[in-house]
Structures are given as structure tokens and as C-alpha cells.
Amino acid sequence: MYPDIKARIKLNESRKGPVYSGYRPAHKIKNNYLTTGQHQYIGTDKLMPGEETLGTITFISPEHYPQTLTVGQRIEFSEGRTIVGEALVIDIYNELLKKNSSNQAKN
């Protein structure tokens, strides 16, 4: 499985313990839509609350939310109702997920 995006991933203080590469929180990919994504961290295997690192995210079922991402977009991720972090999109590897310029004006 290939990653969909590269991101700067930050874990906030609402998460009480560390997360590790392979972590799979829910991501708010667009308004009113959450999807699971698996994190792989670059240069470390562990991320502590308050820390950030570069990493990749592989989403499930991207065919259900095509053309939804742009470089520079911030994606909240959560555990249940608790937002535990944010991913800043640096690069989009999966062409299906890239929002084209005409869609950017609409959303």
C-alpha cells in the first residue's frame, strides 16, 4: 500500500500518551466526512503529545472522496469525538485526491 500524502503531523496535548507509526485515527478529510488513515512517521517511530514530525498518511477508500485535498490544507484527526492532532499537507502522492483549480473555487 502506497501513502496518499506527506504531511507535517502534530499531536496535541489532549492525547495523554504517545502514538506510534501505524497509528490509525479518524481524519476530517472534508466537511462532514471522516475517514481512517494510517500514519508512518519519518525519522522516528513515536510521537509524544505536543510534538510534531514529518510523516505519510495512507487513507482508506480514497475513491469515495476524490479531488478533496490541496497542498497547505490542514486535516484534523481524532479519536472518537476528541480532536488529538492535525496534519498539514505538504505533498499529495495520490493523484485521485488532488483538488483541481476549478474545484478549489467551489469549495
The reported pLDDT for the residue numbered 14 is 92
The reported pLDDT for the residue numbered 100 is 84
Q: Which residues of the chain have pLDDT under 70?
A: 101-107
CB atoms within 10 A of CB 5: 26
The reported pLDDT for the residue numbered 21 is 98
Q: How far is Cα 33 from Cα 18, in angstroms, rounded to an integer?
A: 26
Provide the whole-model pTM: 0.92
The reported pLDDT for the residue numbered 79 is 97
CA 105 from chain centre, in angstroms, equals: 22
Q: How far is Cα 105 from Cα 87, in angstroms, rounded to an integer?
A: 22
The reported pLDDT for the residue numbered 106 is 47
The reported pLDDT for the residue numbered 101 is 65
**What residue segments make up the domains of the chain, in order of their start?**
5-106
The reported pLDDT for the residue numbered 102 is 57
The reported pLDDT for the residue numbered 1 is 75
DSSP sequence for 21-78: TT---EEEEETTEEEEEEEEESS-SEE-TT-EEEEEEEES-GGGS-S-B-TT-EEEEE
Name the CATH code of domain 5-106 (choices 3.90.930.60, 2.40.30.10, 2.60.120.10, 2.60.40.10).
2.40.30.10
What is the maximum span of the chain, computed from C-alpha positions, in angstroms? 41
